[in-house]
Chain A
């Protein structure tokens, strides 16, 4: 596994939409390096016998009948909104 350079925690946290403090960044860098070093043991496992397509679990391949049903009422969908405006979720401006 690619272990030649330490994990860039700040960059990955950005991808995950998480702001980290400097202390968190330092702690996660050393902890995750250790965890990645541990999981690198999978390099030793011979997987040459495993078929290429193992991701399908084989039990999600059905659809339910196409019958119209009532969905969640709007008020209950909005009841936990951190901020709302009438019948809508309120968010910061997204167009400059």
Chain B
């Protein structure tokens, strides 16, 4: 059961030569063969190539010999890339490594497989993947969350040691919460986005999805830092995140936003988070009420800004240089129109149309400019709150994982599942979801994971990790399926 061990344990076994990188890969491979047909997390894996890499793995590096699964929106050289879309599936092989992959390789890790996701990261359940269904390993009748649903399900099912996801409005933290694992969204600009297919460039970040906080810190250390290939990447030197994994929560000031415990929250989610808060207070954390008055505007603001950016970013899929091209186009315009219509799925089309509309002549000021101004106010809410507290604490999601089809007929209800995560992207904060309990099991439903979210100011990952590690010491680590 090597594949269910945390990275720190595996590294000790690898360095002492008790196991080899190939042993570990074979363990992951057999776990995928046994479990993934029922879960559907993986879109692609290439074990012969990974075993060849494992032979050369540099075990002196911090992630030496560790296999890592990759959300299929990130380019891994010579591996297929689909973004969960028919416009790319079977039609695209990555010509280069994303910066995060170059860095994982430099740290000794082996990016061996690609994981399912909502098409172009647009969704909260992975139901928008055009390629396959991914099931929640805790309860296969429920979604794993999204858009990084494959990345979360693989870690929860024990078919990956750790994975990378991306988070544009909660797409790492929400599936981590639904599957009962740890998911970290770095501050905007902390991790290079070069080689990650762009959806909403002012919001998204790549981050780790892991069994525990220590593993998340290890992977963040490897992938973060300035990158000349991404002009939005922050140039501040990288702190040593492992040093943050001590000290615990004693003396930390935790802010509870009243807006994150109001109408719409599931009573069991609320009770689990409040119970965790009481435990943290007993262990010496200072609990303060805070207010984030523009919380109710965050989802509307997000769906204007994100779709506007998506409409521009996805213009590159034009059937000319890569991706699907329609048969027998009459002319160039027909080629564009039909290639895109045939390749993109319903949610992607919906968002492209909405984004085009809010940027169109006569509507730009009313929608897009207004949304940017409200975004400023949302940031200001957090700036003011962080004058009083070190971190903000609340539930990651208003509900536990929902059933397949629960929100597919109503896009707006699906959007509202992101209500507690979306503001962190608008404000450029770092955030983490970690398990804080489960719902009560019933005859029809197993106990479902509940996630606790911590948010910290931009570039305050050391504080975030210190708190998350402290919370984990108190609440316990991931309880694998």
A→B interface (CB under 8 Å): 1-2, 7, 9, 12-20, 24, 27-28, 31-32, 34-36, 38-39, 41-43, 45, 47, 49-51, 54-55, 57, 59-60, 62, 64, 72, 76-77, 79-83, 89, 91-94
Tell me, rounded to whole Å, the shortest Cβ–Cβ distance linking A16 to chain B. Answer: 4
Bound-complex Cα distance A64 to B16 (A): 42
Q: A28-B349, A32-B354, A82-B319 are in contact. Are A45 and B344 (CB under 8 A)?
A: no
Q: In the assembled complex, which residues on chain B have CB atoms less than 8 Å from the CB atom of A94? A: 331-332
Tell me, rounded to whole Å, the shortest Cβ–Cβ distance linking A36 to chain B. Answer: 8
B→A interface (CB under 8 Å): 91-93, 95-96, 189, 202, 228, 231-232, 234-235, 294, 296-297, 299-301, 303-304, 311, 315, 318-325, 329-338, 340-341, 344, 346, 349-350, 352-357, 360, 362-363, 366-367, 370-377, 411-412, 415
Tell me, rounded to whole Å, the shortest Cβ–Cβ distance linking B234 to chain A. Answer: 6
Tell me, rounded to whole Å, the shortest Cβ–Cβ distance linking B262 to chain A. Answer: 16
Q: In the assembled complex, which residues on chain A have CB atoms less than 8 Å from the CB atom of B294? A: 45
Contact A50 B96 (CB under 8 A): no
Bound-complex Cα distance A2 to B344 (A): 28
Bound-complex Cα distance A55 to B366 (A): 15
Q: In the assembled complex, which residues on chain B have CB atoms less than 8 Å from the CB atom of A49? A: 377
Please tell me which one of the listed residues B95, B324, B337, B376 contacts residue A17 in the complex, with CB atoms under 8 A apart: B337
* Chain B residue at minimal CB-CB distance from A17: B336
Tell me, rounded to whole Å, the shortest Cβ–Cβ distance linking A29 to chain B. Answer: 10
Contact A50 B231 (CB under 8 A): no
* Chain A residue at minimal CB-CB distance from B231: A60
Contact A92 B300 (CB under 8 A): no
Please tell me which one of the listed residues A28, A47, A83 contacts residue B325 in the complex, with CB atoms under 8 A apart: A83
Bound-complex Cα distance A15 to B312 (A): 11
Q: In the assembled complex, which residues on chain B have CB atoms less than 8 Å from the CB atom of A18? A: 337, 340-341, 344, 349, 352-353
7 more CB-based (< 8 A) A-B contacts, given A1-B367, A12-B357, A45-B297: A16-B355, A32-B357, A35-B415, A41-B296, A59-B232, A80-B91, A80-B323
